[in-house]
């Protein structure tokens, strides 16, 4: 079992002069589900983007470690699976083509068997050869989970994971999150009580609004 951890060291983020959060220190480690909560505009998405090294913090450091070895931010995409409402897949390709291209661009051989397994788990197997353009918003959201899982990442970040999902979809996603947390690190940013109910610890961003 690979031990994956993320250290947040005194993370501060400003947009212009507006403070988003200040002084976040936290350690995430694998086989756990962590939550990030806070009211709208509190910086949940900003924090998960900083953790995923998609944007930089104003001050502070994010350190990713796999079995104690620090991961270079340029190689983080090999370890990271990410789902969010502001993530878009390629509409002009089918679900399977999307997953195939994502694997090959990552330098991995496309594992059709695993792809079929994930798509089946997400109730998308029957529609795997349809263009994503024709998918409903809920189906697109489920496909994002396949995108996040296809390369078997060690860190999974889910920003508003149940957006656009019906009850059955939510249950599927919750089951998938629980399964992944048995071996990997899962971070969920959400305000939904049912999402946060899965988490062992929750960071409330409302507590990090004060300037020092």
Binding residues (CB under 8 A) for another protein: these are 52, 54-56, 74-75, 77, 80, 82, 86-93, 97, 101-102, 104-107, 147
Determine what percent of the chain falls in helix, strand and coil, rounding each to the nearest 5.
35, 30, 35
CB-based burial label for 168 (10 Å; 0-12, 13-18, 19+)? exposed
Q: How far is the CB of 129 from another protein (least distance, A)?
A: 15
Nearer Cβ to another protein (10/90): 90
Length, in residues, of the chain: 212
Q: How far is the CB of 62 from another protein (least distance, A)?
A: 13
Q: How far is the CB of 189 from another protein (least distance, A)?
A: 15
Nearer Cβ to another protein (155/165): 155
Supply the Cα-derived Rg of the chain in whole angstroms: 17
Nearer Cβ to another protein (16/86): 86
Q: How far is the CB of 86 from another protein (least distance, A)?
A: 7
- Using the 8-state DSSP alphabet, how is residue 64 labeled? E
Nearer Cβ to another protein (25/145): 145
Distance of alpha carbon 99 from alpha carbon 89, whole angstroms: 10
- Using the 8-state DSSP alphabet, how is residue 140 labeled? H
Q: How far is the CB of 90 from another protein (least distance, A)?
A: 6
Distance of alpha carbon 63 from alpha carbon 90, whole angstroms: 31
Nearer Cβ to another protein (92/126): 92
Beta-bridge mates of residue 70: 65
């Amino acid at each position: 079992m690979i031990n994956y951890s993320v250290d947040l060291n005194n993370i501060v983020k400003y947009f212009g002069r507006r403070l988003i959060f200040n002084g976040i220190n936290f350690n995430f480690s694998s086989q756990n589900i962590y939550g990030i909560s806070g009211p709208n505009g509190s910086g949940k998405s900003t924090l998960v983007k900083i953790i995923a090294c998609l944007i930089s913090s104003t001050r502070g450091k994010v350190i990713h470690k796999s079995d104690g070895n620090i991961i270079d931010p340029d190689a983080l995409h090999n370890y990271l699976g990410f789902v969010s409402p502001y993530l878009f897949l390629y509409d002009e390709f089918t679900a399977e083509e999307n997953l195939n291209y994502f694997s090959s661009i990552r330098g991995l051989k496309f594992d059709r068997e695993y792809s079929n397994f994930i798509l089946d788990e997400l109730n998308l197997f029957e529609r795997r050869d349809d263009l994503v353009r024709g998918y409903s918003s809920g189906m697109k959201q489920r496909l994002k989970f396949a995108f996040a899982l296809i390369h078997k990442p060690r860190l999974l970040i889910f920003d508003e994971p149940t957006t656009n999902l019906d009850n059955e979809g939510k249950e599927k996603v919750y089951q998938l999150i629980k399964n992944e947390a048995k071996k990997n690190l899962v971070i969920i940013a959400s305000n939904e009580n049912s999402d946060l109910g899965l988490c062992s610890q929750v960071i409330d961003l409302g507590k990090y609004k004060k300037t020092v």
